[in-house]
Amino acid sequence: MIYLKSPEEFAIIQANGDILGRCHAEVAKALKPGVTTLELDKIAYAFISDHQAHPSFLNYQVGDKKYAYSLCISVNDVVVHGLPGALTLKEGDIISIDGGVYKNGFHADSAYTYGIGEVKPEVQKLLQVTKESLYLGLNQAQAGKRVGDVAHAVQSYTESFGYGVVRELVGHGVGKSLHESPEVPNYGRRGDGAKLKEGMVIAIEPMINLGKRQITVDKDGWTIRTQDRKASAHFEHTVGVGKDGPQILTTFSYIEEVLKTSTGLLNI
Ligand code: MG
Ligand code: MG
């Protein structure tokens, strides 16, 4: 079942996306060699709680497992769903921070991948291309188009660089639930899949591997890693299908402010 949202509901999701964007920026300010991923998670929990909101991921139930953190933090070869913990960042790492904010009955969901200090040129390129592919995908989020148009835009662009497009994990509808229909894969054919209608809200989230597309799951049951242990990047926006085209309801503007002035983070 695909739930269409009213303009008022778009506005609620956008307000949550604004809190989330500022939360990402607070976390970005703390990114440096030596910081643990658990410290970053605590910053996000405090920021979201201070805004009378709930971190969407905290206590998220998957089968009989409950997620115990506010963020998913995925470093280097971790694609998504990395667990915050004792891991410390070091120069040359890349780190994907994925977060969600729930307030006034709706979720917003977004992710950004950062480079810590000097990152290998090939990895830097992966981050740039993955971020660009997000915008190519979301530009297709228009009433009358189909999910496959979004998917195809992401896949065709990223594969043209020889990257692997993860198949097992996909974007999704967002609303009263964090994950709603339809699924929004990062691979597919133009004109395939669910038709996009005004009022739909979807999370578009390319997960792109420097090497092959195959993934493995760690023993913890959450952490998704590239099988070849090469780097993986992840960028995500929550996007509404509006009357006049795509409306990005989350924001990277606060993150980009931090990156502009930071000396220790890759500015992409
Ligand atoms: Mg997310
Ligand atoms: Mg998502």
Per residue in 20-68, pLDDT (tens digit) is: 999 999 999 999 999 999 999 999 999 999 999 999 999 999 999 999 9
Give a three-class secondary structure readout of the chain: CCCCCCHHHHHHHHHHHHHHHHHHHHHHHCCCCCCEHHHHHHHHHHHHHHCCCEECCCCCEECCEECCCCEEEEECCEEECCCCCCCECCCCCEEEEEEEEEECCEEEEEEEEEEECCCCHHHHHHHHHHHHHHHHHHCCCCCCCEHHHHHHHHHHHHHCCCCEECCCCCEEECCCCCCEEEEECCCCCCCCCCECCCCCEEEECCEEECCCCCEEECCCCCCEEECCCCCEEECEEEEEEECCEEEECCCCHHHHHHHHHCCCECCC
Of all ligands present, the nearest one to the C-alpha of 99 is 1
CA of 87 to the centre of ligand 2 (A): 23
The angle formed by the CA atoms of residues 165, 168 and 169, to the nearest 5 degrees, is 85
Banded pLDDT at 86 (limits 50, 70, 90)? very high
Q: What is the CATH number of the domain that holds 84?
A: 3.90.230.10
Helix axes 7-29, 37-50, angle to 10 degrees: 140
**For the segment 118-157, what is each residue's pLDDT rounded down to a tens digit?**
999 999 999 999 999 999 999 999 999 999 999 999 999 9
pLDDT reported for residue 63 = 92
Banded pLDDT at 106 (limits 50, 70, 90)? very high
pLDDT reported for residue 29 = 98
C-alpha 141/C-alpha 2 separation (Å) is 15
CA of 99 to the centre of ligand 1 (A): 6
- Mean predicted lDDT score pLDDT of the chain: 98
C-alpha 11/C-alpha 250 separation (Å) is 11
pLDDT reported for residue 84 = 98
CA of 122 to the centre of ligand 1 (A): 24
Asked if the structure places residue 2 within a domain, the reply is no
pLDDT reported for residue 122 = 98
pLDDT reported for residue 240 = 98
Of all ligands present, the nearest one to the C-alpha of 72 is 1
pLDDT reported for residue 46 = 98
CA of 205 to the centre of ligand 2 (A): 6
CA of 99 to the centre of ligand 2 (A): 8
pLDDT reported for residue 81 = 98
Asked if the structure places residue 43 within a domain, the reply is yes
CA of 40 to the centre of ligand 2 (A): 19
CB-count exposure of residue 65 (10 Å: 0-12, 13-18, 19+): exposed
Of all ligands present, the nearest one to the C-alpha of 180 is 2
CA of 207 to the centre of ligand 2 (A): 11
Asked if the structure places residue 183 within a domain, the reply is yes
How large is the average pLDDT for residues 156-184? 98
94 neighbors 162 (Cβ within 8 angstroms): no
Of all ligands present, the nearest one to the C-alpha of 110 is 1
Asked if the structure places residue 268 within a domain, the reply is no
Of all ligands present, the nearest one to the C-alpha of 57 is 1
**For the segment 226-258, what is each residue's pLDDT rounded down to a tens digit?**
999 999 999 999 999 999 999 999 999 999 999
- The dihedrals phi and psi of 261, each to the nearest 5 degrees, come to -100, -10
Asked if the structure places residue 108 within a domain, the reply is yes
How large is the average pLDDT for residues 191-199? 97
Domain with 41 in it? 7-261
58 neighbors 205 (Cβ within 8 angstroms): no
Of all ligands present, the nearest one to the C-alpha of 81 is 1
C-alpha 73/C-alpha 96 separation (Å) is 6
Of all ligands present, the nearest one to the C-alpha of 169 is 2
Asked if the structure places residue 92 within a domain, the reply is yes
Asked if the structure places residue 171 within a domain, the reply is yes
pLDDT reported for residue 244 = 96
Query: Long-range contact list for 183-188, CB < 8 A, 24+ apart?
Result: 183/147, 184/147, 184/150, 184/151, 185/147, 185/151, 186/133, 186/137, 186/151, 186/154, 186/155, 186/158, 187/151, 187/152, 187/154, 187/155, 188/147, 188/148, 188/151, 188/152, 188/155
CA of 203 to the centre of ligand 1 (A): 8
Q: What is the tally of structural domains in the chain?
A: 1
Of all ligands present, the nearest one to the C-alpha of 178 is 2
Asked if the structure places residue 266 within a domain, the reply is no
